[in-house]
Amino acid sequence: MPEASEAAAAVQGLPTATVVLKPKRARPFFGRHPWVLDSAVAKVEGQPADGDVVDLATHDGHFVARGLWNSQSRMRVRLYAFDASTKLDAELWHARLASALALRKTLGLDERAGATRLVNSEGDDLSGLIVDRYGEYLAVQVTALAMAVRLDTLCDALESLVAPRGILLRGAERGLAKLEGLSLVDRVVRGAAPVGPIFVHEHGLKFGVDLAEGQKTGYYLDQRENRQAAARYARGRRVLDMFCYSGGFAVACAVSGGARSVLAVDTSAKAAALARANAELNGAANVTVEAVDAFEKLDALAAAGERFGMVILDPPKFARSRSTVDDALRAYHRINRVAVGLLEPGGILVTCSCSGSVSRDDFLQMLSGVAQRSARPIQLLECRGAAADHPVSASCLEGEYLTCVIARVP
């Protein structure tokens, strides 16, 4: 194909090349799995530029799916359509975004002052794109080169569908960006950035979110429903919120839940300041926040013989990859064992893992181990995941990463 028509094909969302799979490697893609790794690829017919539309074919030439090419990533192709008639053009991205927004509307999460994940990558058939709404602003996180190349088109669609005051780009985690060959810098891509923190609503509570400097895209939206679920057990209890970030669990337990008092801990001074501000914003005078290391604090509280009616553990990702799962499980075991020791009889443990490579089963087995070693029964009450505005594709279960177990220790 001559160069000019290749460019035209790209604009029209049609393939410029065909990626041919090795024999017997097509099955996951007939099952709509969106990630084609280099190890499955036999050859490339054509010379696609990174971000170009390509077709995926079986070794004997049958169409499998349509996706976007990235020579710099082990994930050579990300798939976005499974029939040969779908063009990967502006119209398609617009339609996918509209469908994602329709889901949030179904969930009742389309309030303008709310904080919601509007697009959850594979879970919304938009592999490599995350869009969070914080009131009038959108925070966009791009984790695939193919989406970075189309950032303008995607922002056009978001502007026409949501009409935000500003769209902010937040870079992917450093490791991820390197794997994709991405070099995006955080910046305002449309409109204006908010001046200072913005305030969002969550279940009748207000939270200040620092869009420019905060962790993730500014806030942990995935735990929204789990914070409320935890709060339902908090009445009258002395609560310990470990790894509190901006104080989501602490404030929910104190205000919605009616906890007697809350001690919240985060090693980051910035996070602790946010948590203090959020407690104050919601009139929670019984929340104390300490900027100290949670592991040391847990040991110190245990050594001092302190007791709590509820302990919340929401640590950062312990396992970065499959090879570190065993170490991660040992670390989960250690903090959960100390937490169980801190609970008074009938106390509630809220324990989370956001390590995608630690399965829910592994996490529950870890809790069995804690029950055995601490010689205390653990009653599992609720086993929860991320909020419903973080949908997971049944064809890409790798998107499932968050476990939140609520348990009672008699």
Q: Which is nearer to ligand SAH, 154 or 239 (CB)?
A: 239
Interaction of residue 10 with ligand SAH, rule CB under 6 A: no
Per-residue binding string, ligand SAH, 292-311, x by CB under 6 A, is -xxx----------------
374 binds ligand SAH (CB under 6 A): no
Asked if residue 243 binds ligand SAH (CB under 6 A), the reply is yes
Report the alpha-carbon distance of residue 263 to residue 268 in Å, rounded: 15
314 lies in the site for ligand SAH, by CB under 6 A: yes
Q: Convert residues 172-211 into a mask of x (bound to ligand SAH by CB under 6 A) and - (unbound).
A: ----------------------------------------
Among 69, 93, 137, 249, binds ligand SAH (CB under 6 A): 249
3-class secondary-structure state, position 14 = coil
- Is 354 assigned a catalytic role? yes
* Binding segment toward ligand SAH, per CB under 6 A, in 107-115, 133-141, 186-194, 288-296: 288-296
| Minimum distance of ligand SAH from residue 291's CB (angstroms) | 9
- Looking at this protein, which amino acid is placed at residue 211? L
Per the residue annotation, which of 155, 253, 352, 354 is the catalytic one?
Answer: 354
Smallest gap from Cβ 104 to ligand SAH, in A, equals 20
Distant-in-sequence, close-in-space partners of 200: CB < 8 Å, separation ≥ 6: 113, 114, 115, 134, 135, 206, 207, 209, 219
Radius of gyration for the alpha carbons in the chain, expressed in angstroms and rounded:
23
Q: Which stretch binds ligand SAH (CB under 6 A): 1-9, 86-94, 241-249, 278-286?
A: 241-249
Q: For residues 253 and 241, is the Cβ–Cβ distance under 8 A?
A: yes
Q: Rounded to 5, what percent of the chain is helix, strand, coil?
A: 35, 30, 35
The distance of closest approach from Cβ of residue 225 to ligand SAH in the complex, given in angstroms and rounded to an integer, is: 11
- With respect to ligand SAH, which residue has the nearer C-beta, 117 or 150? 117
Find out whether 284 and 255 touch, Cβ atoms under 8 Å: yes
Contact 203, 256 (CB under 8 A): yes
DSSP β-ladder status, 308-313 and 343-353: parallel
Spell out the residues 6+ positions from residue 36 whose beta carbon is closer than 8 angstroms to its own: 19, 21, 29, 56, 67, 75, 76, 77, 78, 79
* Chain positions contacting ligand SAH, by CB under 6 A: 215, 220, 223, 227, 243-246, 248-249, 265-268, 271, 293-295, 314-316
